[in-house]
Amino acid sequence: MSNVALAQINDAPMSARQIIIVVLGVMLFALDGFDVMSISFAAPGIAKEWGIDRAALGFVLAMELIGMSIGSVLIGNIADKVGRRKAILGCLAIMGVGMGLAATVDDLITLCIYRVITGVGIGGLLPAVTAVVPEFSNDKRRGLAVSLMSSGFPLGAVVGGMAVTQILQVHSWHSVFVFGSVVTLAAIPLVYFLLPESIAFLQSKQSEDALEQVNKTLVKIKLQPVSELPHIENPVEDRAKQGRFMDLFKPDQIRATICLALAYVGQMLTFYFLMKWTPKIVVDMGYPAAQAGLVLVWANVGGVLGAVFFGILSRFFSVRALTMILLVFSSAMIIVFGRLEGDIAQMSFIAFMAGLVIIAAISGFYNLFTTQFPTELRASGTGFSLGVGRSGAALSPIVAGFLFAAGGTLSTVALLMAGGSILSLMAVFMLKDRVLS
């Protein structure tokens, strides 16, 4: 039996409700982006108030990334079992509470614990959102929708960074986390009322009321209800297998799983060197924390444009080939970033260009996640790739911190960290092209 509901979604123009869902995806990625970057904006104030060196600061910067690794794998798998919507709501609650708790701390250990908790929510949010946005997008606009969604990450850092830059001129670093907590918790009612459960998930799960839920959602997105769901030979047995983690390593899936995880590890090594160390590097050149934050904002402005740029080009070129080209430029721009000098305008421009190509390449990964993993494994596979990739994210500030502490110059450290994009390039090269299933 053909899948009439998904065929309608694939072929029909996107309704206002579907566009709202994409906008929600952008907003959720924006919250995620700000929550990740919040520690970078707070880092100079923390280092000054507590008198910690670069090596110790590297561990602080890495804590939520460790939590993100846990959350990506754990909650990504849960999202394939209980649904994308429930997983998103739970992650927002964890993020909001974790950010609020971080604002109350007065010692390093407690801050690290709360950042790990926040990271679990951040890590789980991305795979759930990455699954639901393409599942509500039609074939014509899916690539653009996914790229716009991924542009939310740097957009959140830009808008949040601009707000925090103003806040930090008056208040202490604690205010960064208060701001993040308030805006994250405010998103919960929006998701609750505006985001329905994915039709693709409901059809693959086939609970007792699945047909009723599918038809309610079809009506909301201005499509025709269906009389029955696609036939599943043994729905009880298939529901038990839904989102089974080990299916990611079956012979027909293992190459995509391993290659995407390695690709994400590599690019995260490069990306988080730029994102986590830029404010501290600029402050050490003699600029105030507010101006250092603006350099990071410019990196994320470039990232927003890069993600949109990727979405437009993906309609005309192979996503895989485009991603590989951008990974070459990612490596090159980090090497250029390593030659930063004391001119704030020059630093801002280089950070802008580096952010553009690095985040455009990451946008390519999110497009690849949608095609390389089938519906029943999409959140699990994305979560695994992100979770393993976050090990690169967690290692990045720690490794860079030790390299700096050992006497490494900015140019030397940047050259080494640029190698992450090269690793990513080799992994993407090993993938096979696939279409959404």
**H or E element in which residue 100 lies:** helix 84-102
pLDDT of residue 234: 53
Q: What is the CATH number of domain 4-429?
A: 1.20.1250.20
Instruction: Tell me the domain boundaries of the chain.
Output: 4-429
Task: Give, rounded to a whole angstrom, the gap between the first and last alpha carbons of the chain.
Answer: 15
Average pLDDT, whole number, for the chain?
A: 86
pLDDT of residue 236: 46
Q: Cβ-count burial of 239 within 10 angstroms (0-12 exposed, 13-18 middle, 19+ buried)? A: middle
| pLDDT tens for the 437 residues of the chain, in order | 467 888 898 899 999 999 999 999 999 999 888 887 788 778 888 888 888 876 777 777 778 778 888 888 888 788 888 888 999 999 999 999 999 999 998 888 899 899 999 989 988 898 889 889 988 999 888 888 988 998 888 888 788 877 887 888 888 888 999 999 999 999 999 999 999 998 888 888 778 888 899 899 899 999 998 888 887 655 544 544 555 778 888 888 999 999 999 999 999 989 988 887 887 788 888 878 777 777 888 888 899 899 988 988 888 888 999 999 999 999 999 999 888 776 888 888 999 999 999 999 999 998 899 888 887 888 888 888 888 877 777 778 788 888 888 888 888 999 999 999 999 999 999 998 776 65
pTM assigned to the model = 0.81
pLDDT of residue 247: 87
Within 10 angstroms of residue 112's Cβ, the number of other Cβ atoms is 18
Distinct helix (H) and strand (E) counts, the chain:
17, 0
Question: 315-321 contacts: CB < 8 A, separation 24 or more?
Answer: 315/143, 315/144, 318/433, 319/143, 319/364, 319/367, 319/368, 319/371, 320/364, 320/368, 320/428, 320/431, 320/433
Q: What is the distance between the alpha carbons of residues 312 and 306, in angstroms, rounded to a whole number?
A: 10
pLDDT of residue 243: 53
pLDDT of residue 34: 86
Within 10 angstroms of residue 20's Cβ, the number of other Cβ atoms is 16
Q: Which residues contact 247 (CB under 8 A, 6 or more apart)?
A: 241, 253, 376, 377, 380
CB 344 within 8 A of CB 97: no
pLDDT of residue 240: 47
CB 396 within 8 A of CB 224: no
Q: Cβ-count burial of 233 within 10 angstroms (0-12 exposed, 13-18 middle, 19+ buried)? A: exposed
pLDDT digits (tens, 9 = 90+) for 189-238: 999 999 999 888 888 877 888 889 989 989 999 999 888 888 765 554 45
pLDDT of residue 45: 85
CB 317 within 8 A of CB 368: no
CA distances to 5, 193, 363 from 80, rounded to whole Å, are: 19, 21, 22
pLDDT of residue 435: 65
pLDDT digits (tens, 9 = 90+) for 73-93: 888 788 888 888 999 999 999
